Amino acid sequence: MKVVLAYSGGLDTSAVLVYLKQKGFDVIAFCADIGQEEDFETVKKRALEFGASDVIVDDLREEFAKNYVFKMLKANAEYEGYLLGTSIARPVIAKRQVEIALKYKADAVAHGATGKGNDQIRFELAYMKLAPHLKILAPWREWEFRSRKDLVNYLKSNGFDISYEEKQYSVDENLMHTSFEGGIIEDIQKPYPTEIFKKVLPPEKANEKGEEVEIEFENGEPIAVNGEKLSPAKILSTLNQIGGRNGIGIRDIVETRANGVKSRGIYETPGFEIILFAKKNLESITVDGNVRKLMNVLSPIYSELVYKGLWFSDEREIMQTFFDKISEKISGKIKLFLYKGNIRILSRYSPYSLYRKDIVSFETGGDISSWAEGFIRTMGIRFLLRKD
């Protein structure tokens, strides 16, 4: 049987690869470049050494940014304070993995996610929706190994000379964010170590002068930074650098996993943090108040769907149509000042702005003042009619 494995090059998926080979599978290793700092030539070489019959490395950075991250942006997606950087990465990987499986007429797809976390759900729900006929292999739920030390011993017992250093925490990185979980992070009575970060300087070490940045939006998506039109992936990359050196985007969160277990994660999301802040504040002048109420009702539902692996569900796609429609008027420019982890608005402009200084100002009169009494009495008519 032929299987396509979502392969990262790390210990877990390397052990999975060897395990599947021993089970008699012909393994194609698939590695998605979604912006993680990785030597993909080394990853490819490693997969072949562990027994893969073929290794496919695809650059999915632009697809990830445009069709996943920026789609999610339109819904202001956020789950219990978490900006969903890992959650949104899984469907783009799974989709391409399934496409490869169909192209190479594979019988199954496999992943290296553990049986305790969220990623197993995200991968498998995507597989089930996109190619329900494919068999799903999840070795962490069936083999006898219980720890990563077990995996090291397993690989060594099979003749693979690997070095392994017990990690103090686990790291997941992509173009949108880096997450830090497990190990020393799990002690919620202790602060996180500031040296963990890969994208962001701790605010106390950030640029002393701060920095201005202007972002231009079109239909709810950023299209330019400081006047320069950029691709979606380049926008994220550029704002990661700008935000990172100004200490933007660190979040320390205890979230509720899909299985109900509480889990602590430290996240750095500098570029997206800036984009989300900018988009929400441009939205404040371009979207009607009642429509924003609907957004605020649906956004948590949308966010939970993403978190729990239901990106390809009908309900998420239906809600996406709603958020895409709203975003048609979220266009314009917003200038921000970044300083040691904080963001301040300097200016905002949109050709679709609903903000009217001549109407709202306390320095002007007009019909709106004379209409106020009727408006107020209409709102309060239920009080006037009561007899108690």
Contact 4, 109 (CB under 8 A): yes
Residue whose entry in the numeric block shows the structure tokens 């371009």: 286
What does the pLDDT read at residue 366? Answer: 65
Select from 44, 4, 18 the least CA-distant residue to 134: 4
Whole-number Å distance between alpha carbons of 87 and 322: 21
Domain ranges within the chain, ordered by starting residue = 2-157, 170-349
Q: Find all residues with CB under 8 Å of 323, minimum gap 6, and list them.
A: 74, 75, 220, 295, 298, 302
In whole angstroms, what is the distance from residue 274 CA to residue 345 CA?
11
Residue corresponding to tokens 């197993």:
120
Q: How much is the pLDDT for 148?
A: 82
Its pTM stands at: 0.94
> 28 with 3: CB under 8 angstroms?
yes
**Closest of 140, 143, 137, 136 to residue 116, by C-alpha:** 140
Which SS3 state, helix, strand or coil, does residue 119 take? helix
Q: What is the pLDDT of residue 113?
A: 95
Q: For position 240, what pLDDT does the model report?
A: 98
- Residue 68's pLDDT is what? 98
Q: Are 287 and 350 in contact (CB under 8 A)?
A: no
Write the single-letter amino acid at 114. Answer: T
| pLDDT digit string, tens, across residues 59-115 | 999 999 999 999 999 999 999 999 999 999 999 999 999 999 999 999 999 999 998
CATH number of the domain located at residue range(s) 2-157 in this protein: 3.40.50.620
CA proximity to 179, closest of 88, 246, 68: 88
Q: Which residues are catalytic?
A: 12, 90, 119, 170
CA 31 to CA 20: how far, in whole Å? 17
* Closest C-alpha to 323, from 305, 343, 347, 348: 305
- CATH says 170-349 is which class? alpha beta
pLDDT tens-digit map of 322-379: 999 999 999 999 999 999 999 999 999 999 999 988 777 666 666 777 788 888 888 8
Q: What residues of the chain score a pLDDT lower than 70?
A: 163-167, 361-366
Q: Are 332 and 282 a contacting pair, CB within 8 Å?
A: yes
Nearest to 261 by CA among 142, 150, 141, 181: 181
Per the DSSP assignment, residues forming a β-bridge with 337 are: 212, 344
